Amino acid sequence: MKRLIISILAFITIVASPFFVHAQDNPSALRQAQGPQALQLTLDQALEIALSESSIIKIADMTVEKTGYAKKGSYAALYPNVNISGSYQRTLQKQVMVMDMGGQPMEIKVGRDNNISTSASASMPLVNAPLWESLKLSSMDVELAVEQARSSKIGMVKQVKQAFYAVLLAQKSLEVVSQVYDNAQKNYEKTLQRFNVGKASEVERLRAQVTMLNAEPSVSSAENAVLLATWQLKAVMGIDLGTDIEVVGDLNDYTAQMLAPYVVEYDLSNNSTLMQFDIQDRMLESTIRMQKKQYLPTLAASINYNYSAMGDNELSWFPSSTAAVSLSIPVFDGFQKRYTIKQSQISKSMLEMQREDTERTLRIGIRNYNDQMALCIKNYEAANATVEIAQKSYDISEKMYEVGKATLVELNDSQVALMQAQLTQAQAVYNFMVAKASLDELLGKEE
């Protein structure tokens, strides 16, 4: 019995450890988690809420929207750039010019008291190859942002699933611990009855009492583990920690999924990390083309219309206008363009090597998760057979103890074997589903 309680408490520590520090900083948070009405929550509902309420998903969606606006803004360079300006100038003291008139200096004031000028100008590129290539880069920026948002969604689905499975495992642990306590209490009552009629010794009575008392704190710890695991699920979903929820389901619901035949998948075509590498590679290719096109001439057109007036008391208006076409031919820039292209080419080579290393690592991850899942299936099948045997052994020990043919130690040992088999069975299902969620994320599955 002592070994069982130690193993259960160790499990509770593993499940609940990520939240102990936060709980100490927020002592009222656990109390707030209780409410008059609990929200019944299935896995599908948890995923739906997380994808609509999580700040991570909202930020990803905002990033896509922001990049979309940046793309639209980049197209503005193709349209005419029109400006209207106006100015008014009041002469406070006119400029004086001195001229030699017949050998005598003559002072002449020049200028007018009032000067008004208005102008309208428009310009647009006619031929600009680097600009056109940069517009393709803007489209790729949006594509990259969309893929990063998909990656956030896939990661969120994995986190919600694993947090949900952790709650189910904590609930299963609580169920097992409660059974241990109920059996210990029942055994103590039987031992007390036998002691009262002289069929059990004082040592047996004390041992049964100690076993019951030792099992009671583990129930409280298991209850706290359920609460903390539920708290983590709410945090991952992005809902208020004070919302009272009740997770619906059981790890046994996933047994059929675990035991169903499955094909080992190595297809990384939907992996978000690799897809982002591919987009970045295309962006670097476009960047290099844009930098090479900076060697080409550019042609731009502009038109300008001015309307000005000047005078002291009465104004005289004078219109003027110009139209121009400008051609710019790059000749020499100290090899700046050449060196910039070399840098981009090296960056592209580095990116390709990083993608190869990442793909190898991901394939190792696929093999690792599949091996873990296969091991979980074996552990479950072994534990399933052990549970049946341990249950029969406990039932026999219980009957033998009632008639005085077995000791309390033997009864406790059979109960320890039964409960450990049940925990191993539940742990196998949990480990399988956690590994499967990680594998689905790696393969780029969104559900």
39 confidence band (pLDDT: 50, 70, 90)? confident
Read off the pLDDT band of 21 (50, 70, 90): very low
Q: Indicate if the pLDDT at residue 369 is higher than 80.
A: yes
Evaluate whether 232 touches 19 at the Cβ level (below 8 Å). Answer: yes
CB 42 within 8 A of CB 229: no
Q: Residue 130: phi, psi to the nearest 5?
A: -60, -35
- What's the fold here for domain 2-81+127-297+332-443? Outer membrane efflux proteins (OEP) (1.20.1600)
* The two structure tokens encoding residue 229: 């695991």
Asked if pLDDT for residue 346 goes beyond 90, the answer is yes
pLDDT digits (tens, 9 = 90+) for 59-117: 888 999 999 988 888 888 888 999 999 999 988 888 888 787 777 788 777 778 888 99
Confidence at 7, pLDDT banded by 50, 70, 90: low
pLDDT of residue 100: 77
Q: What pLDDT score does 408 carry?
A: 65
pTM score = 0.78
Mean pLDDT (the chain) is: 84
For the chain, give every domain's residue range: 2-81+127-297+332-443
Whether residue 147 has pLDDT greater than 90: yes
**Phi, psi angles (nearest 5°) of residue 174:** -60, -40
What length does the chain have? 447
Residue 236 pLDDT > 50:
yes
pLDDT band at 341 (very low <50, low <70, confident <90, very high): very high
Q: How far apart are CA 251 and CA 426, in angstroms?
A: 7
